[in-house]
A and B are shown apart, each in its own frame.
Chain A
Amino acid sequence: MEMAVRAINLTKYYDELLAVDHVNFEVKTGEVFGFLGPNGAGKTTTVRMLTGISKPTEGTAEIMGYDIQKQSIQAKELMGIVPDISNVYTDLSAWNNLIFTGRLYDIPKAEREERAKELLELFGLYDRRDDMVDDFSKGMKRRVCIAMALMNKSSILFLDEPTTGLDVQSVLTIRDLIRKLNREDLTIFLTTHNMEEANQMCDRVAIINKGNLIAIDTPEMLKRTIKELQSVEVSFQNGKRDLTKDLAKFSDATHVVKHGDKYRIYTDAPSTILSVVWKYAETKGLKVITVNTLGPSLEDVFVKLTGVKPEAGSKKRKGKVRRRFGF
């Protein structure tokens, strides 16, 4: 399989500061690849090097087999870029922003006009095409920015924090669009610190911290690497008194945390704990209302590997429900 992106020993120094440290990874064609990391981890610097905006101190990158340093024109023709801030021309209309982008890629006039119309319609901006982008909301500017990145019908789209700071409706629209583009064989390189977004959208993720790539795998495989964060969540109908101490005595429980009317029993053997819970409930005459087995979330993996809690905007959902039993 042809690789859409290959980072080869990518390294970047800012004076004495090592921002990206000999990073190597590959992105397969057609996949949605998540690039995660806390602020200042080196995500944006890596993307800037991959896209030819910034020169690496050492190493290089290939886009669809073209070296971004030596064959930059060919490599850049194949990529679209949505940076972390919407770098649109606010003094131009939405239409002229797209047309100018088309001219930067030397797309013939008729084709660029057709493409601009198609994209503005897709993003629900065609009726506002002649308005100055300065008058647009943040979400609308973001949509213009993404539309600009799609003007050249690229093979790979780099999206740097595409949904940060947007309202829920815009976030959902953009995520739907990314999925749709990916279904149309566009490779997506998604930089985000939103774990839920990465979990929902990415085929594989890489985690970078302090300039070093510390993990790369599918979200589910990454979650399986930290078994100790598996848990069983149980609630009892008659459980008026605090049962934390009782539950913590289960031999396979590592610790127990009470969340409202629910107890979360952390274990690396959830199935054993399940049967113990049933026996305990029978013995104590308690009625089990719900039992859920929870796996670690991608956020748990991220915290475990980086030691950093993701920022606001990464809406956390504690644990993925593997199985749910309602009574």
Chain B
Amino acid sequence: MGARRLLREMRVAWAIGEKDMRVYYLKPPSLMFGILFPFSIFLSFVIGRNMPINRAIPVLIAQTLFFASSSIGPVTIPLERRIKTFDRFLSAPVSLMTVLLGKTIAGFIYGIGISVIPILLGVAFFQSSITDLAALTAGMILSASAFAAMGIMFASLPGQGPGQVLMPLNFVRIPLLFISGVFIPVKDLPAWGQVLSVFSPLTHTIELVRGGLGEENFFETPVSIAVLFVYLAIFLFAGMYFHKINQRRE
């Protein structure tokens, strides 16, 4: 693909992302699964425990990144497929990857926008300090991208509406919380749990966020960055593969 073509595809991806922001950010499922859900889980986790709030901040950041970024795709794609606006992308002179990247941008910005709030609150009111800006930035950018692509991958499975996609997605998202060092740090997990945690993208989000806010890491920063990169690619290509199956079936 030439540079001109690439630039064109990027402009179209941005147009798709921008349209999704405008249309879907304030839809009830986006607000419920992207904002209410992670904050509720966080509160049920911290209330009644003697955990210093600045130690809980990385958990909240990781959870909001995880839930907010991965909720936009499952809201937009099934709805657009049902009302046939998704056909507009399939009949437009752009590649399927560009369409999915556009959808990823919408999830990415949603996740970043919401997870910045606990960072600001932590820094302003709860003595959190950013000690490794590069790790924090890389963690947030890669996690928001990977989770947005994860949402799109689930949304690309044949389904009728957002509810039907969000259910299997939550079936995966919630158990991941238990093996990713969110509730129990990875170092305190049993050996099998530590092995399992390597394969969870959320582990590497919380590792990078904790590292960025001056806490101890279990995995080296480059390892977490590499794992998130791999997941981003897997989710995007799996999403594309599912769409191609849909095109053959529909």
| A residues adjacent to B (C-beta < 8 A) | 14, 48, 51-55, 57, 72-74, 76-77, 79, 81, 83, 85, 87-89, 91-92, 96, 100-101, 103-106, 148
Q: Does B88 contact A (CB under 8 A)?
A: yes
Contact of A79 among B83, B91, B247 (CB under 8 A): B91
Q: In the complex the two chains form, what is the Cα distance from A76 to B87 in whole Å?
A: 12
Q: In the complex the two chains form, what is the Cα distance from A166 to B89 in whole Å?
A: 26
Residues of A within 8 A of B124 (CB): none
Q: Is the CB of B84 within 8 A of A83?
A: yes
Give 1 or 0 for each of B91-124: 1 = CB within 8 Å of chain A CB. Answer: 1111100000000000000000000000000000
Q: In the complex the two chains form, what is the Cα distance from A139 to B19 in whole Å?
A: 24
Q: Is the CB of B94 within 8 A of A87?
A: no
Q: Which residue of B lies closest to A77 (CB)?
A: B93
Contact of B91 among A74, A76, A103 (CB under 8 A): A76
Given contacts A87-B84, A104-B12, contact A81 B23 (CB under 8 A): no
Q: Is the CB of B91 within 8 A of A89?
A: no
Residues of A within 8 A of B84 (CB): 83, 85, 87
Q: Is the CB of A52 within 8 A of B11?
A: no
Q: Can you give 29 A-B contacts (C-beta < 8 A)?
A: A51-B91, A53-B90, A53-B91, A53-B247, A53-B250, A55-B248, A57-B248, A73-B94, A74-B93, A76-B91, A76-B92, A77-B93, A79-B91, A87-B83, A87-B84, A87-B85, A87-B87, A87-B88, A88-B85, A89-B23, A89-B85, A91-B22, A100-B19, A103-B12, A104-B16, A104-B92, A105-B92, A105-B93, A106-B93
Q: Is the CB of B88 within 8 A of A104?
A: yes
Q: Is the CB of A103 within 8 A of B94?
A: no
| B residues adjacent to A (C-beta < 8 A) | 8, 11-12, 15-16, 19, 22-23, 83-85, 87-95, 244, 247-250
Residues of A within 8 A of B92 (CB): 76, 104-105
Q: In the complex the two chains form, what is the Cα distance from A81 to B88 in whole Å?
A: 8
Q: In the complex the two chains form, what is the Cα distance from A72 to B90 in whole Å?
A: 10
Q: Which residue of B lies closest to A56 (CB)?
A: B248
Contact of A104 among B94, B244, B247 (CB under 8 A): B94
CB distance from B22 to the nearest CB of A (A): 7
If A54-B250, A72-B93, A104-B94 are given as contacts, then 12 extra A-B residue pairs at C-beta distance below 8 Å, sorted by A number, are A14-B249, A73-B95, A77-B93, A79-B91, A81-B87, A87-B84, A88-B85, A89-B19, A101-B88, A104-B89, A104-B92, A106-B12
Q: In the complex the two chains form, what is the Cα distance from A51 to B85 in whole Å?
A: 14
Could you say which of A14, A57, A76 has the most chain B C-beta atoms within 10 Å of its C-beta?
A76
Could you say which of A55, A74, A88, A148 has the most chain B C-beta atoms within 10 Å of its C-beta?
A55
Residues of A within 8 A of B83 (CB): 85, 87
Contact of B23 among A73, A76, A77, A92 (CB under 8 A): A92
CB distance from B26 to the nearest CB of A (A): 9
Residues of B within 8 A of A87 (CB): 83-85, 87-88
CB distance from B1 to the nearest CB of A (A): 10
Q: In the complex the two chains form, what is the Cα distance from A230 to B19 in whole Å?
A: 56
Contact of B247 among A54, A105, A106 (CB under 8 A): A54
Q: In the complex the two chains form, what is the Cα distance from A14 to B84 in whole Å?
A: 19
CB distance from B174 to the nearest CB of A (A): 30
Residues of A within 8 A of B19 (CB): 89, 92, 100
Could you say which of A51, A91, A106, A148 has the most chain B C-beta atoms within 10 Å of its C-beta?
A106
Contact of A53 among B16, B22, B87, B94 (CB under 8 A): B87
CB distance from A160 to the nearest CB of B (A): 11
Residues of A within 8 A of B95 (CB): 73
